[in-house]
Amino acid sequence: MDERLLKAARDVRANAYAPYSVYRVGAAILGADGKVYTGCNVENVSYGLTMCAERSALAQMVAAGCQEIQEVVVVTADGGTPCGMCRQSLLEFAPVPSNVWVICANEDGDTDSYRLSELCPAPFQSDIKK
Ligand code: THU
C-alpha cells in the first residue's frame, strides 16, 4: 500500500459530512499520474442525494485530468468495503481491475486488501463507449 493514501484518506475523513448516518468515510485514490485524489461522504437531508467518498474522490481525479486509477484506500470506523455503486464507478477507470488494489482500513489502522476484480466480479459492461 502507498502510505500516502492511508494518511490522505484518514485526513479527508475528518471533513465527512455525515450528520444522518454518523458513518464517516474517507477515500484516497492513487491516479495513474502518480497524484493522490481524495473524497469524503457528503450526506443530504434528502438521504438519496448522498455522495459517497469513493465517487467524490473519483470526480476529483477526473476533474484534474486523470482517467485511470492505480490503488484505492477507504477509511471507515469498521473497515467497511465500498458499496456496489462505488465498485462499478471505480471499474470505469480501471482498465485491468485485477491490478487495482482496494484497501479498506478501520480506525485502528487494520486493513483488508481486495483486488477490484474480486469486489465486482460481474460488472455491467457494454461496448457503446464512443
Ligand atoms: N458511504 C460511502 O461514502 N461509501 C460507500 O461505499 C458506502 C457508504 C457513505 C454513504 C453514507 O453517507 C454513509 O456512508 C452511510 O451509508
**Sole residue written with cell 457494454:** 126
Instruction: Using the atom order of ligand 1, give the atom closest to the CA of residue 85.
Output: 6
Strands 111-115 and 26-31: unpaired
Instruction: Using the atom order of ligand 1, give the atom closest to the CA of residue 81.
Output: 6
Average pLDDT of span 101-105: 98
Query: Which of 13, 21, 73, 81 for a ligand 1 pocket mutation test, highest count of atoms within 8 Å of Cβ?
Result: 21
Measured distance CA(31)–CA(17) in Å, rounded: 24
Measured distance CA(104)–CA(81) in Å, rounded: 6
Identify whether 54 is a catalytic site residue: yes
Checking if the pLDDT of 113 tops 90, the result is: yes
Model confidence at 4, in pLDDT bands (50, 70, 90)?
very high
pLDDT per position as a tens digit, 47-87: 999 999 999 999 999 999 999 999 999 999 999 999 999 99
What homologous superfamily is domain 3-119 in, according to CATH? Answer: Cytidine Deaminase, domain 2 (3.40.140.10)
| pLDDT for position 60 | 98
Q: Where are the domains of the chain?
A: 3-119
Catalytic entry in 54, 68, 71, 118: 54
Determine if residue 79 is left, alpha or beta; phi over 0 gives left, psi from -120 to 50 gives alpha, anything else beta: left
| pLDDT for position 127 | 86
